[in-house]
Amino acid sequence: MTGNEPPVLEGGARPDLSVVAPLYNEAENVRALVDWIVEALAEYPGTVEIILVDDGSQDGTWAQVVEAATDPQVRGLRLGRNVGQTAAMMAGFDHAKGGVVVSLDGDLQNDPRDIPALVAKLDEGYELVCGWRQRRQDGFLLRKVPSWVANRIIRRLTGVPITDNGCSLKAYRRDLLTRISLYAEQHRFIPALSASVGARITEMPVRHHARRFGKSKYGISRTVKVLADLLTLKMITTFRSRPLLGFAAASAVPLGASLVFGVLWLIALTQFGPAKARALVFPTAGLLALGTALYLFMLGLAAEVALRSEQETLNSTPTAWEVR
């Protein structure tokens, strides 16, 4: 239902480095964050812009951003409503003009002093450098364990060897950001999505601090949703251009099951006759499995159709004539 188009950046000065920080109810942290970033980048040889994205905060974050924006390096974006971290980051990326873009959390948990090292690493020929939080200052059971499990699954599923997918502190080449578009809650999957468009990726250790002010906006409930997102990730990273292949592979399982049922049914039929065979094998299960296999295959075809006809037909207006 959201049909906003990405913005077109006008010309103007292009800084060398854009630092993007999404903020949701971080009024107490804005000032300190900006000061910290400015201080950390004092030695940085190029020009810098800091983009603060207020993701529909209700606690006066925007007033703080406006105050911080008296510094000419600082720009502010205020979103119409709370859209979540991924979309807020995307807003920052869309408006960033730097050749190199760095993202970090707005809650002071990432350390801006790591930025120069990340950017230097990028210059070694990478398009994405991911931070890897050392000595994570978060709750063990609710944050670290689920995160460890999720990272392992992501690594297994996508084959992208990044240890800490959840760390917001990352450095990107601008070119990469024009090739991936993040939505829903995909900020966790940036390395995998980047790899799927052919980016060179590496990671390096970064510092991590406990929250100073405010409360964490995450809980354990998100872990359940991450599973659905992982399945999606697999689908769109591996089968984006050939969805039929993915669905055909999935339909192999019920197809195999139906074959087994069929063969068993035939054996039972020839050995014991129809009445006994019905009691031994359940042929309906085989038929349902066959139906499911066919259905999945057809879905794959439907996905191919969607791929080919990408135009948006919903928004067309019927014709009308003017009465004169």
Partner 1 sequence: MTAKGVLQEPVGAPMTTASSPGSHGTVSVVVPVVERMDDLVAVYHAFARELEQRGEAFEFIFVFDGGFTPPPELVERSREVLGVHLFRFAQRFGETAALRLGIERSRGDVILTLPAYFQVRPEGLGPLLDAVANGADLAVACRSPRQDNWINRLQSRAFHKMLGGLSGQRFRDIACGVRAIRRPVAETLPLYGDMHRFIPAIALREGFEVTEVAVPQHASDVQMRLYGPGVYLRRLLDIATFFFLAKFTEKPLRFFGLVGSMFLSVGGAISLYLLIDRLAGQAIANRPLLLLGVLLIALGVQLIGLGLVGEIIVHLRSPHRRAYRVREQI
Residue 321, both tokens:
């004539």
Distance of closest approach, residue 115 Cβ to partner 1, in angstroms: 23
Interaction between residue 191 and partner 1 (CB under 8 A): no
Interaction between residue 322 and partner 1 (CB under 8 A): yes
* Residue pair 197/97 in contact by the 8 Å Cβ criterion: no
Interaction between residue 289 and partner 1 (CB under 8 A): yes
CA dihedral defined by 229, 235, 241, 243, rounded to 10 degrees?
Answer: -130
Task: Measure the CA–CA gap between 6 and 252, rounded to whole angstroms.
Answer: 40
CB of 90 or CB of 192, closer to partner 1: 90
Interaction between residue 145 and partner 1 (CB under 8 A): no
Interaction between residue 223 and partner 1 (CB under 8 A): no
Interaction between residue 1 and partner 1 (CB under 8 A): yes
* Angle at CA of residue 224, ends 219 and 229, nearest 5°: 110
Distance of closest approach, residue 244 Cβ to partner 1, in angstroms: 11
Interaction between residue 63 and partner 1 (CB under 8 A): no
Angle, helix 283-308 to helix 243-272, in steps of 10 degrees: 160
Interaction between residue 264 and partner 1 (CB under 8 A): no
Applying CB under 8 A, the span of 29-37, 61-69, 141-149, 198-206 interacting with partner 1 comes to: 61-69
Distance of closest approach, residue 175 Cβ to partner 1, in angstroms: 15
Interaction between residue 281 and partner 1 (CB under 8 A): yes
Task: Measure the CA–CA gap between 164 and 253, rounded to whole angstroms.
Answer: 33
CB of 111 or CB of 185, closer to partner 1: 185
Give the distance, in angstroms, between the CA of residue 245 and the centroid of all CA atoms in the same chain: 23
Distance of closest approach, residue 43 Cβ to partner 1, in angstroms: 27
* Residue pair 150/194 in contact by the 8 Å Cβ criterion: no
> With b meaning 16 or more CB within 10 Å and e meaning fewer, what string describes 298-321?
ebbeebbeeeeeeeeeeeeeeeee
Task: Tell me the number of residues near partner 1 by CB under 8 A.
Answer: 77
CB of 105 or CB of 114, closer to partner 1: 105
The three-state (H, E, C) secondary structure of 149-184, written as one string: HHHHHHHHHHCCCCCCCCCCCEEEEHHHHHHCCCCC
Q: Which of 232, 245, 252, 263 binds partner 1 (CB under 8 A)?
A: 232
Interaction between residue 249 and partner 1 (CB under 8 A): no
**271: helix, coil or strand?**
helix
Interaction between residue 314 and partner 1 (CB under 8 A): yes
CB of 69 or CB of 117, closer to partner 1: 69
Task: Measure the CA–CA gap between 91 and 78, rounded to whole angstroms.
Answer: 10
**208: helix, coil or strand?**
strand
Interaction between residue 221 and partner 1 (CB under 8 A): no
Applying CB under 8 A, the span of 41-49, 87-95, 150-158, 210-218 interacting with partner 1 comes to: 87-95
CB of 149 or CB of 305, closer to partner 1: 305
Interaction between residue 259 and partner 1 (CB under 8 A): no
